[in-house]
Amino acid sequence: MTLPLIAEHPLRLLLYLITTWLALGLAGLPTPRGGRLVARVLFPLGAMICLAVATIAAIFLLTGHAPQTAILPFGLPDLPFHIRLDALSAFFLLILGLAGAGISIFSAGYFRAGEGTAPGLMGLQYHVFLASMALVLLADDAYLFMVAWETMALSSYFLVTSQHRIPEIRRAGFLYLLMAHVGAICILLSFGVLQGGSWQFTFDAMRHATSTLTPFLATTAFLLALLGFGMKAGLVPLHVWLPEAHPAAPSPVSAMMSGIMLKTAVYGFLRISFDLLHVRFWQWGVLVLAVGLFSAIYGAIFAAVQSDMKRLLAYSSIENIGIIFTGIGLAILFETSNLHLYAALALCAALVHALNHSLFKSLLFLTTGSVLHATGHRNLGKLGGLIRRMPWVATIALVGTLAIAGLPPLNGFVSEWLLLQSFLFTPQIPHAFVNMFVPLGAAVLALTAALAAYVMVKFYGVVFLGQPREASLSEARDPSWLERIGLLWLAIGCIAIGIVPQLAMRPAAGVTGMLLGQTVATSSLWWIAPIAPQQASYSGVILLAGILGTIGITFLLVRLLAHGRLRRVPAWDCGYPHQTARMQDTAEGFGQPIRHMFGAFFRIERDLPTPDDIAPRYRMRLEDRIWRTLYLPIARATQKIADMVSILQSGSLSIYLLCSFLTLIVLLVFVL
């Protein structure tokens, strides 16, 4: 695959690669139990295709290639499939390729025969999932978009329910599929409004039709898009499927869903709100900003009190999606105020964070998969001390936890720093209400970042530090070499973007240039100065050099001044003679301050021991108030309506004939 060929025919090459994904999935069907074929051949080849997709997308973005379009000989007679490759789709294809490569090579060593779905069938579902996400990003009409969107939902549903014999997993899969279809209906209705009565469903036709939409119809399309894509992204209060589906799915599938699939929702929302819609209102920005900030703080609070590794990371995904939508909301506010440079800065922060999140969240989900395979536990209360038994995983997980906590010089710091810089320019927005509201948003974002760091201290400390809480943990071992390669690939991405932020900002500049006509990328590879160097600038290289220099000088001073005068003694035991695992802080202990401070967010049920208990235990269950106050009433009302309608299904022929007759009368009266 030569550079001239990529530059000349990127769209054609991407179609070949997507077809190859589908072929790899089908190749495992003749031998569904052939785990070695899937693990040693199909998943590594899938990882290579991911790398090829990322390479094509990166070259397309960095060369400033003009958009490419094509019409495929598929679909309906008068509604063929249209595809388009532009800067926006290329950026999210870059996310898919980079994260997908690490997840795929990890999956080659992770999936084993006898764990749920047969390996051959798992390979088909996995590669169809990848191909459908790529087609979502390339679709240039509503028909292909919805076909690919539903294929993505169904393939991911089967992956989530790979261990379908467990009732809890079946329930989680049903909830996920239900929410996915409700969101798809909202997206379909949004496309119906965007076509503006032209009955042309290509995105190009919608771009022309939306110029004549009334403000009411434009707002309706925007709100439907926010509802539909927000449901897939996991925005609060549409998030209830996410903390259920992620723990149910195998860890590589959780990584794929959180790291990549959630970003297709971000892509779809950007496509409609910045590309298809020609008009935007500042109230839209306030709404998206408020929803994003609330989702961010809500996810961080709930992550802090979880005792399940994967539920903790699932709520953390809600937090990070909220941060991304916060940047999008700021971009809409700036853009509607004709502050295009600041809009580009906020949108660049959102895009870079989307890329960063795909790397460090995929990395963390994969490390939990390694821990789960090695120990059989995902409950934090049964782990501990794994840094001695799994040093490779512990080292790589440390990179992911520092990155997601937003600490320099890793990639999470870059995007959060850019977003905080965007907040500094909000006083220039000419709206008094916004100027009063936005500083509170900046404070919420800072609190979210602090809580995220708190959550990651809990996650890493309880899992890897201290002493093992179970005797069986002594048998834990680091994963296979294929899994290590996948983890290392994602960790290198976190480090590289943190040290050289332009690796992410320059591709994002192509998107901001396309959507806003403005970029914030600088000519220097080592520095980022989003507005002006005298106001704010950052260099990961210089910061890393300072950190390493400080460590080196400290080491030399200790060796020179204190060498030979150090002695090792036992750690202070707080007056307790026996240092056991029971003396360590627990996951519940870490979350107790958050439960007290933000108790209004939770519905807490406690099982207190009685004086007659031989082995007293204190148990506590935390519930999401939104689930009980919003979704359970809807579920009960739906069930009552279904029970009423079920009377018609009594099996009586006379009732069926009566219903048909009444329906005919109604149609004659109201239609004719």
Residues whose CB falls within 8 Å of the CB of residue 531, separated by 6 or more in sequence, listed in order: 341, 342, 345, 421, 425, 520
Taking residues 251-273, report their average pLDDT.
94
Taking residues 234-261, report their average pLDDT.
90
Question: Of 145-159, 265-279, 615-629, which gets the smallest average pLDDT?
Answer: 615-629
Asked whether residue 114 carries a pLDDT value surpassing 60, the answer given is: no
* CA pseudo-torsion sign 226, 228, 232, 235: positive
pLDDT, position 59: 92
**Confidence bin at 480 (pLDDT 50/70/90):** confident
Asked whether residue 671 carries a pLDDT value surpassing 70, the answer given is: no
**Chain CA centroid to CA 375, Å:** 26
Taking residues 78-88, report their average pLDDT.
90
Asked whether residue 548 carries a pLDDT value surpassing 80, the answer given is: yes
**Confidence bin at 17 (pLDDT 50/70/90):** very high
pLDDT, position 613: 66
Asked whether residue 127 carries a pLDDT value surpassing 90, the answer given is: yes
Under 8 Å between Cβ of 412 and 405: yes
Under 8 Å between Cβ of 340 and 333: no
* Closest CA relative to residue 365, chosen from 447, 245, 266: 245
**Confidence bin at 247 (pLDDT 50/70/90):** confident
pLDDT, position 113: 55
Q: What is the DSSP letter of 139?
A: B
Condensed to tens digits (0 to 9), the pLDDT of residues 201-226 reads 889 989 888 778 889 999 999 999 99
Give the whole-angstrom CA distance, residue 21 versus residue 15. 10
Could you give the percent of the chain with pLDDT greater than 70? 90
Q: Phi/psi at 367 (nearest 5 deg)?
A: -65, -35
What are residue 603's DSSP bridge partners? 623
Tokens of 117: 């779905």
Q: Which residue has the higher pLDDT, 57 or 36?
A: 57
Taking residues 481-489, report their average pLDDT.
92
**Confidence bin at 565 (pLDDT 50/70/90):** low
Under 8 Å between Cβ of 257 and 130: no
Asked whether residue 638 carries a pLDDT value surpassing 90, the answer given is: no
Asked whether residue 640 carries a pLDDT value surpassing 90, the answer given is: no
**Confidence bin at 563 (pLDDT 50/70/90):** low
3-state secondary structure 427-474: HHCCCHHHHHHHHHHHHHHHHHHHHHHHHHHHHHHHHHCCCCCCHHHH
Under 8 Å between Cβ of 339 and 306: no
Tokens of 233: 């992204």
**Confidence bin at 609 (pLDDT 50/70/90):** low
Helix (H) or strand (E) holding 8: helix 3-8
Three-state DSSP state, 623:
strand
Q: Which residue has the higher pLDDT, 611 or 39?
A: 39
What Cα–Cα distance (Å) separates residue 174 from each residue in 167, 168, 485? 11, 10, 34
Condensed to tens digits (0 to 9), the pLDDT of residues 45-58 reads 999 999 999 999 99
**Confidence bin at 101 (pLDDT 50/70/90):** very high
Under 8 Å between Cβ of 109 and 479: yes
**Confidence bin at 7 (pLDDT 50/70/90):** low
Rg of the chain over Cα atoms, rounded to whole angstroms, equals 26
Q: What is the DSSP letter of 509?
A: H
Taking residues 636-656, report their average pLDDT.
78
Taking residues 310-331, report their average pLDDT.
94
pLDDT, position 468: 80
* Closest CA relative to residue 521, chosen from 535, 536, 504, 534: 504
pLDDT, position 436: 81
Q: Which residue has the higher pLDDT, 481 or 529?
A: 481
pLDDT, position 668: 83
Asked whether residue 588 carries a pLDDT value surpassing 60, the answer given is: yes
Asked whether residue 647 carries a pLDDT value surpassing 60, the answer given is: yes
Give the whole-angstrom CA distance, residue 444 versus residue 94. 30
Question: Of 72-76, 386-390, 528-532, which gets the smallest average pLDDT?
Answer: 528-532
Average pLDDT, the chain: 86
Domain boundaries, the chain: 282-528
**Confidence bin at 3 (pLDDT 50/70/90):** low
Condensed to tens digits (0 to 9), the pLDDT of residues 396-440 reads 999 999 999 988 888 889 899 899 888 888 888 888 878 888 888
Asked whether residue 1 carries a pLDDT value surpassing 80, the answer given is: no
Q: Compute how many other C-beta atoms are within 10 angstroms of the C-beta atom of residue 603.
A: 15
**Confidence bin at 182 (pLDDT 50/70/90):** very high
Give the whole-angstrom CA distance, residue 250 versus residue 117. 11
Asked whether residue 135 carries a pLDDT value surpassing 60, the answer given is: yes
Q: Which residue has the higher pLDDT, 392 or 670?
A: 392
**Confidence bin at 635 (pLDDT 50/70/90):** confident
Q: Which residue has the higher pLDDT, 319 or 581?
A: 319
Taking residues 121-139, report their average pLDDT.
93
What are residue 349's DSSP bridge partners? none
Give the whole-angstrom CA distance, residue 242 versus residue 311. 9
Question: Of 448-452, 484-488, 616-620, which gets the smallest average pLDDT?
Answer: 616-620
Asked whether residue 653 carries a pLDDT value surpassing 70, the answer given is: yes
pLDDT, position 608: 65
Asked whether residue 278 carries a pLDDT value surpassing 90, the answer given is: no
Q: Compute how many other C-beta atoms are within 10 angstroms of the C-beta atom of residue 2.
A: 7
Peptide bond preceding 530 in cis form (omega within 30 of 0):
no
**Chain CA centroid to CA 557, Å:** 44
